[in-house]
């Protein structure tokens, strides 16, 4: 585990090893130790000359400069004894959580940890975040998906809840699964179950199977319904038999089964909660692990809620509140655009708000709508005559954000309105296109091509996506 030093920026990361970090013992791969010694010999991970000049301790490493005045100084902490992820239990989960906050960085992409699942046992593109874009993408530059980064609430220290329920399980339904097998699985001491179902949350309709689920729910077993599909979500109106199983089943929305199991363990481990309280907590987005259905966390109408009336009153105040209005409106408009809430956008227009103003990140509502793939909001904003090619503080355009989010409908709307990738964006596209081609990522290639990128443009090594794709 690596912990960056210094008051300005603190970087916490964990090296979990995988096959790359293993060593062979009598023909068997086991976790390998001595990572710090290996990193010290690699110039891209340690600047020995700078370390000596600064008199850094022997156990401290420093990266090459990220910019003229920025460096990351870090130490490597190795768990003793080392453990393989295949052998991890809730005890190790808590240990890792108490050491760092957890994300996953793999093949140039930084993912939210509770959104990730492993999809390939061989390739470097081993992990994906099926229902949430990466928090950041590292290429010739670092692109941060700022609207996905959850802001810390206050300055209080992180509290790790170590009281976890261990009697939870995972059951994958399959066509023809015997009711007797399900009954045996649901017996005490099991207290919570993640049930993988078909499609949008459906399961077999056999009465004997449904009776087993109903009986388990009635005796207090908490069941979370997750789809075994890689992408998509469980809907609240699951068709066929699942709806007949009664209110005992909680929708897991678009959580991965791994995240649902950890969340279930956490919720059931909280003392003093009623059964209904636990179900309500499971149905909420606690740490960015799920995307709630449209409307569940939507923006209230500015004219039909206490919050809305307060905001509306603020926005209509006279000159003494101009500074407050100027600070509030851009962020409110961007949030509404990202959520696709046309009602709030229209209310802001009626109150005289300028929908082309930038928020604290230099982003306009068009940036936010494009990043969120909200074609309706994009259409509305373009009809209001907003600039189709504004740049945020990272130099990103709405079109580039739509490309990275693979929102083809939004790309089409922006292109029809005259948006174009800049020469700099097109120059950087070659390397990104080659990376996508090497992974056979047709959706990503389609997005760039639709935005006007040339698939024959060479990357940093002179090869093009077309050439890489034929190898």
Q: Per DSSP, what are the bridge partners of residue 324?
A: none
Q: DSSP characters for 96-128?
A: HHHH---EEEETTEEEEGGG-EE--SSSS--EE
> Which residues 6+ apart lie within 8 Å of 177 measured at CB?
204, 209
253 membership: H or E segment, kind and range: none
Is it true that the peptide bond before 309 is cis, omega within 30 degrees of 0? no
Name the DSSP class of 19. Answer: G
Is it true that the peptide bond before 395 is cis, omega within 30 degrees of 0? no
Distance CA 423, CA 401 (A): 16
Structure tokens at 47: 């600047």
Distance CA 282, CA 294 (A): 17
> Which residues 6+ apart lie within 8 Å of 113 measured at CB?
102, 103, 104
Distance CA 388, CA 226 (A): 39
Name the DSSP class of 298. Answer: P
Structure tokens at 347: 């209310």
> Which residues 6+ apart lie within 8 Å of 364 measured at CB?
330, 334, 355, 356, 357, 358, 386, 387, 390, 392, 398
Residues recognised as catalytic? 19
Distance CA 154, CA 142 (A): 27
| Angle in degrees, 0-180, between the axes of helices 365-372 and 375-383, rounded to the nearest 10 | 150
């Amino acid at each position: 585990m690596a912990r960056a030093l210094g008051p300005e920026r603190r970087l916490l990361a964990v090296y979990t090893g995988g096959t790359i970090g293993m060593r062979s013992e009598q023909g068997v791969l086991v976790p390998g130790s001595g990572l710090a010694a290996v990193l010290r010999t690699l110039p891209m991970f340690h600047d020995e000359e700078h370390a000596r000049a600064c008199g850094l301790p022997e156990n401290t490493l420093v990266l090459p400069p990220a910019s003229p005045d920025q460096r990351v100084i870090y130490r490597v902490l190795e768990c003793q004894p080392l453990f393989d992820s295949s052998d991890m239990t809730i005890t190790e989960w808590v240990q890792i959580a108490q050491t760092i906050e957890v994300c996953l960085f793999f093949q140039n992409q930084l993912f939210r940890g509770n959104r990730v699942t492993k999809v390939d046992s061989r390739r470097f593109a081993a992990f994906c975040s099926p229902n949430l874009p990466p928090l950041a993408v590292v290429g010739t530059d670092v692109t941060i998906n700022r609207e996905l980064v959850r802001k810390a609430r206050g300055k209080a220290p992180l509290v790790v809840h170590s009281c976890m329920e261990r009697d939870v399980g995972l059951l994958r339904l399959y066509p023809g699964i015997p009711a007797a097998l399900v009954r045996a699985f649901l017996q005490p001491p099991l207290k919570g179950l993640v049930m993988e179902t078909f499609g949008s949350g459906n399961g077999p309709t056999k009465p004997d199977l449904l009776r087993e689920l109903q009986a388990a729910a009635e005796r207090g077993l908490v069941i979370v319904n997750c789809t075994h599909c890689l992408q998509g979500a469980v809907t609240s109106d699951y068709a066929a038999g699942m709806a007949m199983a009664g209110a005992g089943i909680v929708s897991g929305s678009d959580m991965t089964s791994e995240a649902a199991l950890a969340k279930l363990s956490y919720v059931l481990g909280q003392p003093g909660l009623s059964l209904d309280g636990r179900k309500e907590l499971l149905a909420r987005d606690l740490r960015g692990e799920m995307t709630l259905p449209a409307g569940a966390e939507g923006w209230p109408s500015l004219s039909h809620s206490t919050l809305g009336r307060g905001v509306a009153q603020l926005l209509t105040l006279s000159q003494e509140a101009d500074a407050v209005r100027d600070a509030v409106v851009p962020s409110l408009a961007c949030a509404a655009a990202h959520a696709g809430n046309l009602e709030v956008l229209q209310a802001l227009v009626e109150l005289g708000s300028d929908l082309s103003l930038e928020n604290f990140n230099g982003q306009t509502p068009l940036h936010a709508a494009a990043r969120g793939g909200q074609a309706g909001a994009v259409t509305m904003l373009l009809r209001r005559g907003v600039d189709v090619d504004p740049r945020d503080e990272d130099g990103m355009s709405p079109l580039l954000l739509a490309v990275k989010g693979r929102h083809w409908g939004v790309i089409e709307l922006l292109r029809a309105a005259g948006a174009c990738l800049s020469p700099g964006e097109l120059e950087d596209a070659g390397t990104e296109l080659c990376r996508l081609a090497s992974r056979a990522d047709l959706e990503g290639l389609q997005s760039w091509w639709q935005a006007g990128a040339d698939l024959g443009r060479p990357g940093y090594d002179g090869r093009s996506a077309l050439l890489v794709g034929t190898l």
